[in-house]
Amino acid sequence: EATLDLAERRRIRSAIRELQRQELERDEEALASKRFRPERGSHRQDDKENWPRSRHLEEEQQAALAALSQQLEAITSVEELTKLLRAAGEYEERKLIRAAIRKLRAEEIEGEAPFPCSGWLPSRA
């Protein structure tokens, strides 16, 4: 805004856009390299050292998910399941709740469906 020359302003804006585009490309490349970075040997060693603790946490999580699954089977209200879904924090919990909601909705649809067709069709008059 310091210059009054419109052509110079356009060049400045164009240069700013180009710098922003280059910065976005660098950020995307950095993210991609982090996403697909191969494991390092020291990381594997950390995993071996922490394995008993992580194994214990995984077993606890599996037990909690099994208990949640039992609890979900007793719930017959989609609204109640939706409330649980909104309150759930872990991905696996939400996944189980969504599956329970789908199952309930499918059962409701099956219950509302008319009796299967016995081959009877009205004759054309």
Q: What is the pLDDT of residues 37-51, one digit of tens each?
A: 555 555 555 556 666
In a domain, 123, yes or no: no
Residues 68 and 96: beta-carbon distance below 8 Å:
yes
**How far is 36 from 32, CA to CA, in rounded Å?**
6
In a domain, 104, yes or no: yes
In a domain, 63, yes or no: no
What total of structural domains would you count in the chain?
A: 1
Place of tokens 């609890």: 71
Residues spanned by the domain of 103: 76-111
In a domain, 44, yes or no: no
In a domain, 90, yes or no: yes
pLDDT tens per residue, range 12-63:
889 999 999 999 988 888 887 776 555 555 555 555 666 666 777 788 888 8
Q: Strand, coil or helix: what is 85?
A: helix
In a domain, 89, yes or no: yes
